[in-house]
Amino acid sequence: MEENQLEKFLEIVNLDEKRIEDEIKGFSLDDDTKKLAILEVRANAHSVRTYLGMLAKNNYPLNDDLTRDEEYYELELGTNRKNMYGQLTCRLIDHLHNFRNVPNFIKSGNFKPVYADKRALKYESFDF
């Protein structure tokens, strides 16, 4: 992954995070639920940025929509390298999906924070 591509991906994640936070702030929820939802978004977005950094560090490619490059994945890279790429992209996609779908989980009444509880102390100083 090229450095300018990483910057582009980080910008996408940052814009999505801001857009989703703004959407959640517009919901009529009690303050604690709203804070927890925003914390869940931030925790997952932080994980997405971490996995993007790991992929960039190992010079692994991603498609422009932040999905795994299947052609690259199918190449004979050696088992360890292929497995690492597969694991990193799966985790990236999982966290990306989680943080982008928090508003949908709230609307459907199925919002259950997963990462927010584990990272509450880390994000405690953030303004909501």
Q: Which residues pair with 68 in a beta bridge?
A: 62
Alpha-carbon distances of 2 from 7, 61, 98, 104, rounded to whole Å? 9, 8, 26, 33
Task: Look at residue 128 and tell me if it is in a domain.
Answer: no
**Would you state the pLDDT for residue 72?**
81
Range(s) of the domain holding residue 34: 3-118
pLDDT digits (tens, 9 = 90+) for 115-127: 776 555 455 555 5
Distance CA 76, CA 69 (A): 14
Task: Look at residue 125 and tell me if it is in a domain.
Answer: no
pLDDT digits (tens, 9 = 90+) for 75-102: 756 666 778 888 899 999 999 998 899 9
Whole-model pTM: value is 0.83
Task: Look at residue 16 and tell me if it is in a domain.
Answer: yes
Dmax over CA atoms of the chain, in Å, equals 52
Number of domains observed in the structure of the chain: 1
Task: Look at residue 123 and tell me if it is in a domain.
Answer: no
Task: Look at residue 126 and tell me if it is in a domain.
Answer: no
Percentage of the residues of the chain whose pLDDT score is greater than 90: 45
Task: Look at residue 124 and tell me if it is in a domain.
Answer: no
Mean pLDDT (the chain, rounded): 85
**Would you state the pLDDT for residue 121?**
47
Q: Which two tokens stand for residue 44?
A: 């997952």
Distance CA 77, CA 82 (A): 6
Distance CA 62, CA 54 (A): 12
Alpha-carbon distances of 90 from 37, 48, 109, 126, rounded to whole Å? 23, 11, 26, 28
Task: Look at residue 45 and tell me if it is in a domain.
Answer: yes
Task: Look at residue 97 and tell me if it is in a domain.
Answer: yes
